[in-house]
Amino acid sequence: MSKREKKTDWEIVEMEEKEKAKFINDEIPFGGFSMDSTFFCIHCEKTHRVTDAKIVKYKNGAVLLQCADFPECDGTVLDWSRNDER
């Protein structure tokens, strides 16, 4: 889609909201979330909505759930702490 030359070995995968929710649910190690759940990323020290997380596909085939601030922030789902888990 983008005309600019790719300098990276990854791309952000766009998904429909339902599809994305399913992907997030499968990826997230701490289990079911609601669409308005938020998480705190220990890399950028910011709180994001879980549905704003980026799905990033790498050339080696890996697909990772990453921080909403990707690529500025390289935090992955493993670097999140969940805010509504108390």
Contact residues for Zn ion, defined by CB under 5 A? 41, 43-44, 67, 69, 73, 75
- Shortest Cβ distance from residue 61 to Zn ion (Å)? 23
Residue 56: closest CA among 45, 44, 71, 43: 71
| Nearer of residues 19 and 52 to Zn ion, judged by Cβ | 52
What HEC string does 18-67 produce?
A: HHHHHHHHHHCCCCCCCCCCEEEECCCCEEEEHHHCEEEEECCCCEEEEC
- Shortest Cβ distance from residue 3 to Zn ion (Å)? 28
| Nearer of residues 20 and 48 to Zn ion, judged by Cβ | 48
- Shortest Cβ distance from residue 7 to Zn ion (Å)? 21
Q: Length of the chain in residues, anyone?
A: 86
| Nearer of residues 14 and 71 to Zn ion, judged by Cβ | 71
